[in-house]
Amino acid sequence: MVMMMMRSLLRNSFLAAASMSAVSFMACAQDTSTQTGLTGLKCNALTGAEQVLSENDETYLIFGEIHGTREAPRAFGEIICEAAKQGPIVVGIERPANLTRAMQTFVDSDGSDDARFNLLRGFFDGTDWGLSSQAFLDLFVRMQELKAHGADIRMIGFTSTRIVGEGSQTPYEKALAGELQRASARNPGARILVLVGNLHARLESYPELGDRPGFDPMAMHLPEGEVLSFNIAHTGGTAHMCGAEGCGPLPVDDKSRPYEDGLMLTDRDSRYNGIWNIGPVTASPPVGKRY
């Protein structure tokens, strides 16, 4: 009886932390009662997303982000919505491969409280970094909604257990790319859309830094000619990060230019094929924490 009561209390606390996700995305979900087919999906993607997706057929679309914002996972979810109109999608999340099942089980579910509770227990670890945030919970809710409306979405965690150590990080980055390539082989014809820290999305080697050797990032190990990599741009705000005084919402500087808007290809930065400008950013706390 005591164990049942403890489980009930734990379940209710998790669901209370997740309640905002259901509300935040109900407005984005379409009413399918009078619509049929994926062309009827209602998306709120960045300006230019539809054009980029329709005019380019590369397999791997890599979206480099800064962890800890509300806006990056939200914008990524709407780009997936737009991409799903064109065909099957594999969604790569920068977490270990052993969490793939928890993600996929939720996306395939009916989105019920029990399904969400199992996702919270199986995926979120409460740590102070952006991949265990409320924004990522909201992203999974959005994926479940899209799947329920007919989108062909497969989830994959792709980080490696390989220890970087004091040597080059290149073997670790190569392992990340290998997981994505195996996912592509298992899902022929699907596009692979990946949300990852923008360092991994670079198409040029990362330079030596002090005693730390340089390395070739993940995107460089994917098949040549099959990759489009986008660096994040934003107009400043806050992100949930850890600094000398602890973890919480910390200011981030403007990383965009006045004429930039939305998703676009550009040759202004040889390290990436383009940018995705998500506008002002706000910190997203870890699930279970509130500021």
CATH code of the domain containing 75: 3.40.50.11550
Percent of the chain residues topping a pLDDT of 70: 85
Q: Which pLDDT score is estimated for 39?
A: 67
Q: Which pLDDT score is estimated for 229?
A: 98
- In angstroms, rounded to a whole number, what is the distance separating the alpha carbons of residues 155 and 99? 10
Predicted model pTM: 0.86
Contacts 24+ apart (CB under 8 A), 101-109: 103/140, 103/155, 103/156, 103/157, 104/154, 104/155, 106/140, 106/144, 107/140, 107/143, 107/144, 107/147, 107/153, 107/155, 108/144, 108/147, 109/144
Q: Which pLDDT score is estimated for 9?
A: 45
pLDDT (tens digit per residue) in 230-289 = 999 999 999 999 988 889 999 999 988 877 889 999 998 999 999 999 999 999 999 877
Q: Which domain holds residue 108?
A: 44-277
The whole-chain average pLDDT of the chain stands at: 87
What are residue 264's DSSP bridge partners?
A: 275
pLDDT (tens digit per residue) in 22-70 = 444 434 433 333 233 476 789 999 999 999 999 999 999 999 999 999 9
The mean pLDDT value for 152-156 works out to 98
Residue 126: both structure tokens together = 């409460």
Q: Which pLDDT score is estimated for 269?
A: 93
Say how many domains are in the chain: 1
- CA pseudo-torsion sign 119, 124, 130, 134: positive
Q: Which pLDDT score is estimated for 22?
A: 43
